[in-house]
Structure 1
Amino acid sequence: MTYTLRFAAIGLDHRHIFHMVGELIAQGAVCAGYCPLTSDPRVLDGFRERFPDLAPVSRDALFDDPSIDVVVSAAIPRDRPEIAIRAMRAGKDVMVDKPGATTLDQVEAIEQVATETGRIFSICFSERFVVRACEAASRLVATGEIGRVVQTVGLGPHRLNRAIRPAWFFERAAHGGILVDIASHQIDQFLFYTGARDAEIVSSAVANHALPDIPDFEDYGEILLRSASASGFIRVDWFTPDGLDAWGDGRLVILGTDGYIELRKYIDIAGRPGGDHLFLANASGTRHIDAGHEPLTYFRNFLADVRDRTATAMPDGHALTVTRLALKAQGSAARIVRAGA
């Protein structure tokens, strides 16, 4: 008989907590409760609406409960390492929203505690793990449909929704900068689809093109990165127009030696309805694949890893490697100056 895992939600500051909790429940885990402390009451309201049967529990009680196996968190990014470290020291595995940390010192602290305790520290990279087209692409790459992957182009545009963002959203120290906050998704995808364990940041840049009243904020970022056998380009921004019927036209192009794949994750602009569109071109021709029914595997694999002490959801160290690369890109980024500034 399979042991039913129990988890707690601590850190309800970003809406990504919705799919983290929902997908774990869908995979058979039991939510033992959530800490209602939040910097954004709208997130708490949305959480209660989606999960009306879950009970609010004090943070200390959740950490101290020995029956809880896992803590999930979408706290303010700068606070996630402290929550993760306390959870691991309490004997619990951890799943956090991206980014997993906002400084390199935090990364080192997480790695040290994970090593000392033997606990799992995982980051839910939602732009891969909650996108069914990404699951389909991983299967096609694994079966050799496009040959050896040599390059990726990852685009991560987002809608700003300035009026409803909490104050910390505009504080660089709170989220780490645009390359840490968003581009960690695309770094994760580059490493995964190329099969690289690590990479170097060749160049990076950030800019504030449209919000001069918040000079420390960045609304545009780019990275060129390279491994021993592949290269990648990343562009992230906060420029999704209000007229687009999605929060962002996220795309990924995976170039192989025998073909390529393009993912239009959330919308096929002026094309087919819905999301999870995959386009494949190889020696056999071209085709469109509706990946909307592809099963998600991360949450199932994560729970299996907790039970079996394995690393099937992501390789050991992957989450922190991605975080380090994002922080290095942010730290070395050139700043593009707005015209006329």
Structure 2
Amino acid sequence: MAYVADTSESGGEFNRDTKYIGTRITADGRDGYPVEPGRYRLVVARACPWANRTIIVRRLLGLEDALSIGFCGPTHDEDSWTFDLDPGGVDPVLGIPRLKDAYLKRFPDYDKGITVPAIVDVPTGEVVTNDFPQITLDFSTEWTQYHRDGAPDLYPEKHRDEIDEVAQRIYTEINNGVYRCGFAGSQEAYEMAYDRLFFALDLLSERLDGQRYLVGDTITEADVRLFTTLARFDPVYHGHFKCNRAKLSEMPVLWAYARDLFQTPGFGDTIDFVQIKQHYYIVHTDINPTRIVPKGPELSNWLTPHGRESLGGRPFGDGTPPGPVREGERVPAEHSA
């Protein structure tokens, strides 16, 4: 996601523009875009926590054959995410150098942020949606015909109200809370955001002290949404966004929980720490004008024992872990823990 902030009339408080393209891809095609294997392309950037969610859910559910994926580079300019990782800087399926081209193909006067994740209709080259919270829910509920055998139920019907409630608090207080700290425009706004963030993290520590996952005894959408922020906490948010009361590795419950998920197939194998650091430290020149990317932190501790098995739980419920990462979608070994 490219952030869109306005701190001018809010006492320096960061406000995110949350008006996304609400078109949905559904089994019945009620918005004009029916679920069809091979028709759509998911465009992501490994650096982005919001896009990272879609990478994880697509992999857990086994949608690789039904929905292709295109990776933007870790940095972007004020105009658009770009496909600079691909030969010639052009996406090999969409044939475009900038994600903005797909937005403008559908909305010629589009004047909002060009964000990832986005799903593009390959035949027309038009963006369908960038509504990241809905995209992963629709993967779970609308794309069921194309789930792999053994796909977990990440949005079980009996827990949906609780998942929605927990996920909403995670979004406002933590996913967006770190940005509220990093882009605060005044000392007062920063300190309020800082206190609010760590209050929420403390509450989650209490919740997870006696249960392995956030809702029920299996991995759900709520865990995916929390994980992508926790994975970026020590490499980026602790220093770059001044969320420095404690590192994740100094918060015992959350650190063990994050390592448990990181070591679960479908989670850690989607994390590219090099691209994550490049994105934040190079793109946010208002925070880091030198664009120097820090060398640390040490990452091997992500693979240390976490001990969370003692809390029970069944990571995939009645399902099974996903298989190996597909060729062409693997994170380079030197970019991971």
State if a TM-score over 0.5 links the two structures. Answer: no
Higher helix fraction (1 or 2): 2
Higher strand fraction (1 or 2): 1
